[in-house]
Amino acid sequence: MNLDTSLTVAGKELKVIRRKKSIILYIVIVPLLLSFGFSLIVQNDIAPPSGIVSNYQLGLESLTYFFVVLAAVLPASIAAYSIVGEKIEKGLEPLLATPASDGEILLGKSIAAFVPPILTLWAGASIFMVAVDYLTYIELSYNFFPNWTSGIMLLLLAPLAAIFSIECAVIASSRVTDARGANQIASLMFVPFMAIFLAAVEGIFAFDLDNLLIVSGVVLVVDVALLFLSTATFRREEILTKWR
């Protein structure tokens, strides 16, 4: 595996992404809307009457966790498109005729699907945290962020969730024969993370450090397994001979 080749592939993918306005809008607008929307929710709906600080904390953690869910949504469609789109543009044959290996190509595409959404997501989360800190400082005289929980969520679990969704999208897009199918499968990747969110809302799951580290560990193991699976299931010949 040559990282240089993967970075070359990633560089080209990033150039393409940069010139696709719909993708840029998608990965920039969604986290920004989320951050502004959540800030308004914090301001209007769950501003704490004194004495119910714990509910307030759960609300903020749940909203922060939503950025993890988003991390499982945004990169998947880019990853799915980067393989299916290659086939649509008929670029896969010349690409596969180069000395680049399947693993190098897939890693490059995954890097390109990972970096822009995770950066915009972190930017959105930062705006949200600054806004919330402003409000909590006024209401409670302290800054809620940063804290370990949000750190684990945004710096560990969100990237792992993004990698999970990218790998699932890569596997899906190399098995389906059209862009719509790949996008439909990719759009389902947020479901496990959404389930955790709902479990927390229902009180079955707590966003504490231990639980978040366990979830992160599980996602890490799944990511490693999917990494091997995505390379092993990438059938260049099937893609070239069966896709039309």
Partner 1 sequence: MIETRNLTRKFGDVTAVDDLTLHVNDGEVFGFLGPNGAGKTTTVGMLCCLIAKTSGSARIAGYEVGNKSDSVKIRRLIGFVSDNVGLYDSLTAYENLDYFGKLYKCPEPRRKENIERFLKMLGLWEKKDVPAGTLSKGMKQKVAIARALVHDPEVLFMDEPTANLDPESAKTVREFILQLKQEKKTIFLNTHNLDEAQRICDKIGVLNTRLMALGTPQELEYSVGARKTVILLDEVSDTILNALKRLSPGKVTRDGSTLTIELANPNKENPAIVRAIVGAGGNVQSVSITASSLEDAYLKLVREKQG
Number of CB atoms found within 10 A of residue 209's CB? 13
Strands (E), 13-156: none
Burial pattern 164-198, b for ≥16 Cβ within 10 A else e, equals: bbbbbbbbbbbebeebeebbebbeebbebbbebbe
Structure tokens at 90: 């008929």
Instruction: Please report how close the Cβ of residue 226 comes to partner 1 at its closest, in angstroms.
Output: 23
Please say which residue, 19 or 54, places its beta carbon nearer to partner 1.
19
Using the minimum distance from each CB to partner 1, give the nearer residue, 25 or 209. Answer: 25
Helices (runs of H) and strands (runs of E) counted in the chain: 11, 0
Least separation in angstroms between residue 192's CB and partner 1 is 33
**Angstrom distance (rounded) from CA 230 to CA 172:** 9
- In this structure, are residues 136 and 49 in contact, taking their beta carbons and an 8 Å threshold? no
Which residue lies nearer to partner 1 by CB, 50 or 90?
Answer: 90
Task: Supply the minimum distance, in Å, between the C-beta of residue 32 and partner 1.
Answer: 24
Rule CB under 8 A: which residues touch partner 1?
5, 8-9, 12, 15-16, 19-20, 89-101, 236-237, 240-241
Q: Based on CB atoms, which residue is closest to partner 1, 20 or 180?
A: 20
Q: Please enumerate in sequence order all residues whose Cβ is within 8 A of that of 65, keeping only pairs 6 or more positions apart, or say none.
A: 153, 196, 197, 200, 207
* Shortest distance, position 18 Cβ to partner 1, whole Å: 9
CB of 237 to partner 1, least distance (A): 5
Query: Minimum distance between the CB of residue 29 and partner 1, rounded to whole angstroms?
Result: 20
Contact 169, 186 (CB under 8 A): yes
Minimum gap (Å) between residue 31 Cβ and partner 1: 23
- Smaller CB distance to partner 1: residue 88 or 191? 88
Give CA separation, 7 vs 13, 19, 100, 117, in Å: 10, 18, 11, 17
Closest to partner 1 by CB, 115 or 213: 115
In sequence order, the 6+-apart residues with CB closer than 8 A to the CB of 199 are 205
Decide whether 20 or 224 has the Cβ nearer to partner 1: 20
